[in-house]
Amino acid sequence: MLYFKKLAPSDYDKVTTIVNKFEPFSDFNFLSLYSWSNNNKTMICIDDSSLYIIMPDYLTGNPIYSFLSNSPDAIEKFLNWRRHIKEMPNYLFNLLPEPSIKASREFLNLYNKKSVIYPEEANYDYILKTKDFYSLTGSSYEDIRYKINKFSREWGGNLKVINTNDNNAANKYLQKLITILNQTKEESLEYQALKQFLKISNDLKIKIYYKFYTLNGTIVGFSSYEIINEKYAMGHFLKTDRKVKNLFYKAVYDVCGELCALNIPFINIEQDLGIETLRATKNHLRPFKLLKKYTLNIAS
């Protein structure tokens, strides 16, 4: 029987050890899990190199059941645990990474379980190849080259970039960001997640790379990312003032340039959450690939 416990800072090493065996699915990154845990309600279970999570949807509060595993037994264990807790006509599992789905198919086929699998396109992670985006060569990047050059012409003379790896310094700048982080309910939640992110990364001494952009002394945007291994960085937060057009592209360009210098070939810039404008913007960045996730609906 699986045993779940509340996600705690002390779980960092165990979670990270499992997650690093897979491609970097953002939902299972420890800092993401902890930062977006609504009122610290995220529960985890680690069993036989599998990571199981129960976390509240950050907008609705409804529980999300998911797991990251290559084991064909993982889905059976989770399903038995859920049946033990409560009998239901159907069991939904969300945010399932592709490896979990592949492993689950063996169990579903073997036991002839009635199930439906469908993609969660809103939660696909976008992977950029840092060298490609920083060089911006070829016709596919023509429009982005234009946007970045236009930004430099319009704003470059007054733009200043502040780089820091100090979470305490970043926290001071954060206090000045409320005007661009509290515009909608989603952005207010993002602000709370960012505060959690700053605290836990500082407590665990995880090195985070921050960039803050100022125009005439006013902070108009920032980015933050974590280097998770020799191949990948995880882009945690990137926010720009909507009134400063094309700063978003400039910020992504700067991050990719910094990662190229550090010999990190890829960055995960996370999901679009089904927001059409964000999806269009992230696709416009010409992602190298998508890390796909799925919903699994199993009839009891």
In a domain, 146, yes or no: yes
As given in the structure block, the two tokens for residue 40 are 């610290």
Claim to verify: residue 92 and residue 51 sit in the same structural domain: yes
Q: By C-alpha distance, which of 70, 163, 58, 73 is closest to 110? A: 73
Q: State the pLDDT at residue 6.
A: 96
Claim to verify: residue 156 and residue 266 sit in the same structural domain: yes
User: Strand pairing of 63-68 and 90-97?
Assistant: unpaired
Residue 140: CB atoms within 10 Å:
10
Enter the pTM of the model: 0.92
Range of the domain at 113: 5-122+293-299
What gap in Å lies between CA 189 and CA 141, rounded to an integer? 33
Claim to verify: residue 104 and residue 231 sit in the same structural domain: no
HSE-up of residue 10 (Cα within 13 Å, Cβ side): 2
Claim to verify: residue 117 and residue 129 sit in the same structural domain: no
Q: State the pLDDT at residue 160.
A: 93
What gap in Å lies between CA 55 and CA 63, rounded to an integer? 5
Say which CATH number the domain at 63 has: 3.40.630.30
What gap in Å lies between CA 266 and CA 297, rounded to an integer? 32
> Going by C-beta distance under 8 Å and a sequence separation of 6 or more, which residues neighbour residue 281?
248
In a domain, 175, yes or no: yes
Claim to verify: residue 107 and residue 235 sit in the same structural domain: no
> Going by C-beta distance under 8 Å and a sequence separation of 6 or more, which residues neighbour residue 71?
48, 49, 50, 103
Instruction: List, for the chain, all residue ranges whose pLDDT scores fall below the cut of 50.
Output: none
What gap in Å lies between CA 69 and CA 53, rounded to an integer? 11
Q: By C-alpha distance, which of 249, 247, 161 is closest to 209? A: 161
Claim to verify: residue 40 and residue 51 sit in the same structural domain: yes
* CA distances, 163 to each of 56, 95, 160 (Å): 33, 33, 10
Claim to verify: residue 165 and residue 192 sit in the same structural domain: yes
The angle that helices 185-203 and 167-174 make with each other, rounded to 10 degrees, is 160
For 57, phi then psi, to 5°, come to -60, 130
User: Strand pairing of 90-97 and 293-299?
Assistant: antiparallel
Q: What is the pLDDT of residues 56-77, one digit of tens each?
A: 887 788 899 999 999 999 999 9
Q: With b meaning 16 or more CB within 10 Å and e meaning fewer, what string describes 51-70?
A: bbbbbbebeeeeebbbbbbe
Claim to verify: residue 134 and residue 251 sit in the same structural domain: yes
In a domain, 280, yes or no: no
In a domain, 185, yes or no: yes
Q: State the pLDDT at residue 181.
A: 53
Beta-ladder partners of 266: 129, 232
SS3 84: helix
Q: Name the domain count of the chain.
A: 2
In a domain, 11, yes or no: yes
Complete DSSP assignment for 192-206:
HHHHHHHHHHHHTT-
Q: State the pLDDT at residue 183.
A: 57
In a domain, 279, yes or no: no
Residue 260: CB atoms within 10 Å:
17
Asked if residues 206 and 165 have their Cβ atoms less than 8 Å apart, the reply is no
Q: By C-alpha distance, which of 77, 80, 39 is closest to 56? A: 39
Q: What is the pLDDT of residues 70-119, one digit of tens each?
A: 999 999 999 999 998 887 767 899 999 999 999 998 888 876 668 889 99
In a domain, 287, yes or no: no
Q: State the pLDDT at residue 105.
A: 87
Asked if residues 211 and 251 have their Cβ atoms less than 8 Å apart, the reply is yes
Claim to verify: residue 134 and residue 259 sit in the same structural domain: yes
In a domain, 277, yes or no: no
Q: State the pLDDT at residue 186.
A: 56
Claim to verify: residue 265 and residue 133 sit in the same structural domain: yes
Claim to verify: residue 129 and residue 231 sit in the same structural domain: yes
Claim to verify: residue 131 and residue 113 sit in the same structural domain: no
